[in-house]
Structures are given as C-alpha cells and as structure tokens.
C-alpha cells in the first residue's frame, strides 16, 4: 500500500509540475503566432488524440509529465526524406494530408514515393506515383496541411512563417521564460493555499500560546489559548524561539512556567513529552503558535513562504560554487523518496512538497546552461544584441555541450541519490 501511494503521489506531483511548466510555453507560443504542433499529457505510445486550432492534443500511456512540440523548436522535425512512401490526400489540387503511417489506411490517398519535399518554404512535394511509370509528379502543399506520423498521430506541417525562429526575439524570450514563470505562479498559489489550509499565518515574535493539542503536556499543565508565557524557570521568554529552545532541550523534565492570563500572573508546572526527532529525543509541549487569520495576512504569508523558499534555493546554488557536493542536488530518485514521505503524511504535505519543487524547477530551468530555458534565453539575448542569430552549426554545438553536461550531471545525481536512499 505504501509503494502504491508513493507511486501515485510521485506521478501526481511530477505530472502537475511538468504540465504546468509546458503549458506556459504553450500559451505564450500561441500568443506569439508560433505553431504548437502537439501538446501531450504523458509520454510514450498514444492513447488518444484530437486536433483543435492547429494543435494536436494527445494523451499517452506513460503518466510521467508531458511536453509541447513547437514548430522549429528543439527536436521538432518537419522533413520527408527521399524514398519515403506516403499517401497524399488532395483537395482543390493541393495536398491536405500526408500519411506516413502503416497503421492508418486512407482509401482516397494517392500513393507516392518521395523524391523531394519542402514543407517549410516552397510547400511542394515531388515523387513517383505508383502505377504511373518513372515520371516525377509535383504537388503544392496547403499551408495548413497535416501529416500523419508513423505512430498514427496527425499534426500540422510547420511552414517557416509559423516556426519559432520567425517570431520576434522578445517573443521567443517570453516563450522560453514562460515555463519557469508558470512554475513560480503554481508555487505561489500552492503556498497561499497552504496558509489558508493552516488557518492563517503563524506569529512567532510573541510569547502568546495558540491552539492547545488534546491530551498534550500543555493541556495537562492547564495552559489555555492566548496565555502569555513570560518566563521558564526564571529565564525570560519573549518569543517562540526562546520558548521552543528551552522546551525541546527538556524532555520529561518539570519546568516552572510563569504565565499571564487575563491580567493575572500564575505559576504552572509543565513536563514536556519526550519525542524522537531525527534520532534525538526532544521535548514537546503540544501547543501551536497563534495565527493571524485576516485575508491580507494569509495572502502575504503565502508570498513570504514563496520568497523564503526561493532565497533558500539561491543559497544552495551559491554554496555549490564554493563547496560543491552532489548531496546538495537531487533528481527523480530524491523526488520519489520525498513523495514517499509526503504520501505518508497526508495531502497537505503533498501540496507543500509540490510548492517547494515547483519553485525549484522554475529557478533551475532559468540557469544559463544550454539546453535549459535559461540557456535558450541567453542565446535569444545574444541574437538581440548582435542583430542576427548564431549560425545553426554553432548553436547546435553549444546546445549539444549543454545537453551532455546536463545528462552527465543527471547520471551522477541519480547514482548518488540511489546510494543515499537505497544503499545505506
């Protein structure tokens, strides 16, 4: 049952993060006039597909995230090599559909062996028509024609005017930035939701007591909500840091608390309950910090959680430069381990994990490393400054170097995670 819940949690968290990220690219690509040929939920073989407004929406068997396929972006292919056997569906003397798949038979398709095809600029396809001898026939291709790929997925062809490189530089920067931006938005929304679920923002710069847990050491001692603990064994208490520091260091040890309640001072004896945390026994009194429950506090509390977690990531990245260690990084194995812990702790912990990972994903993707969104943005900025893009050869080499670096790092991080979590 634990393994099943962990797998479901991992798929849910990973899927939501990736799909939100990809939807950012998808949305701004559409707004910039870039053709999004496919938006897929899941990976691997296709289960379902439907085309609308030029985009084919697919659901695939492996429930591990998803992807967007933008014209002229990344590994997108838009070529038909010579020798390909295709079926052409013509209407008004123009090719409307090109069938490459053996899985789909079109009864009205014209069988053709391709000798030359340009689906980007001239929009023409030439070849030998079966049964028509050695004569080469050339057919114009409609701008919004579709191509049925080997796996049966039907997508639009990608003429040059709707490809990524045809958009303005600022539009391409926005498209590349939109994925991480969506992760930031998701993280912020989740942190705000967590504050609402919690009931408000904890106030820790006070010595007031919040909610008292049932059957806790605090309830046994007679503490009440809104009591002010002013001293413990004569040591002055001004905030929660003072309070928790003394209590946690005193498991199963009687403590004399000076408490103010309704303007009156009284003495209370508290015996903190011994609880094991990370292999160490600490004292627990069973009270929560008081909460600010107004709307403004809840919204600002979620925003502050988002900022604090973002700054924590930058601190880790900074420490990597001065003291590199693979233990400071984590990959899918670490995420699976965290998913296991979150699944056992409940839905609120899963949301917290998703919020933290989402801001992590956003920031990591903006690092200026080729093959990441940040690296692509750097290339866009360089193009804007130079007034022209890098040559395809140079850009390909830079991207390949970035990919090899990231792939190698991923292997090292994954092996290190396996060693940490499963070979102890």
Measure the CA–CA gap between 330 and 323, rounded to whole angstroms: 16
Could you tell me whether strands 94-99 and 136-148 are parallel, antiparallel, or unpaired per DSSP bridges? parallel
Residues classed as catalytic: 22
Q: Which residues pair with 99 in a beta bridge?
A: 87, 148
CA gap 303, 182 in Å, rounded: 15
Q: Which of 368, 358, 365 is nearest to 335 (CA)?
A: 358
> Do 135 and 128 touch, CB atoms closer than 8 A?
yes
CA nearest to 55, candidates 72, 35, 77, 74: 35
Q: How far apart are CA 379 and CA 372, in angstroms?
A: 11
Virtual CA dihedral for 93, 96, 102, 107, nearest 10 degrees?
A: -60
**What's the CA gap between 72 and 376, in Å, rounded?**
14
CB 139 within 8 A of CB 95: yes
Q: Measuring CA to CA, how many Å separate 14 from each of 9, 194, 210, 247, 331? A: 8, 19, 35, 38, 11
Structure tokens at 271: 């015996």
């Amino acid at each position: 049952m634990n393994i099943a819940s962990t797998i479901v949690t991992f798929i849910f968290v990973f899927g939501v993060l990736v799909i939100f990220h990809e939807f950012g690219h998808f949305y701004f690509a559409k707004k910039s006039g870039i053709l999004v040929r496919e938006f897929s939920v899941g990976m691997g073989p296709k289960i379902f597909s439907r085309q609308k407004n030029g985009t084919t929406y697919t659901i695939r068997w492996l429930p591990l995230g998803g992807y967007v396929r933008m014209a002229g972006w990344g590994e997108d292919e838009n070529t038909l090599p010579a020798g390909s056997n295709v079926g052409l569906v013509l209407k008004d003397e123009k090719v409307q559909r090109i069938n490459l798949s053996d899985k789909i038979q079109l009864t009205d398709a014209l069988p053709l062996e391709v000798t030359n095809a340009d689906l980007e600029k001239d929009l023409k396809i030439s070849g030998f028509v079966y049964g028509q001898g050695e004569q080469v026939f050339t057919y114009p291709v409609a701008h919004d024609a579709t191509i049925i790929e080997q796996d049966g997925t039907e997508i639009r062809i990608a003429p040059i005017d709707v490809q990524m490189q045809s958009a303005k530089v600022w539009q391409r920067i926005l498209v590349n930035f939109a994925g991480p931006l969506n992760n930031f938005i998701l993280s912020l929304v989740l942190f705000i939701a967590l504050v609402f679920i919690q009931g408000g923002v904890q106030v820790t710069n006070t010595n007031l007591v919040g909610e008292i847990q049932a059957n806790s050491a605090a309830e046994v001692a007679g503490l009440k909500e809104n009591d002010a603990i002013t001293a413990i064994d004569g040591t002055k208490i001004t905030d929660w840091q003072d309070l928790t520091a003394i209590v946690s260091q005193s498991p199963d040890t009687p403590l004399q608390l000076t408490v103010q309640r309704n303007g009156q001072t009284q003495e209370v004896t508290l015996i903190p309950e011994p609880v094991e945390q990370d292999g160490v026994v600490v004292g627990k009194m069973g009270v929560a910090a008081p909460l600010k429950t107004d709307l403004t506090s809840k919204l600002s509390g979620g925003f502050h959680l988002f900022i604090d977690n973002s700054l924590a990531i930058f601190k880790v990245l900074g420490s990597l430069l001065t003291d590199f260690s693979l233990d400071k990084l984590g990959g899918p194995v670490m995420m699976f381990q965290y998913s296991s812990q979150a699944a056992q702790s409940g839905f609120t912990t899963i949301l917290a994990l998703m919020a933290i990972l989402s801001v992590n994903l956003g920031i990591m993707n903006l690092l200026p490393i080729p093959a990441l969104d940040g690296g692509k943005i750097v290339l866009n900025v360089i193009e804007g400054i130079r007034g022209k893009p890098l040559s395809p050869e140079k850009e390909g080499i830079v991207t390949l170097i970035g990919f090899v670096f990231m792939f190698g790092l991923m292997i090292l991080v994954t092996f290190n995670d396996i060693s940490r979590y499963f070979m102890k």
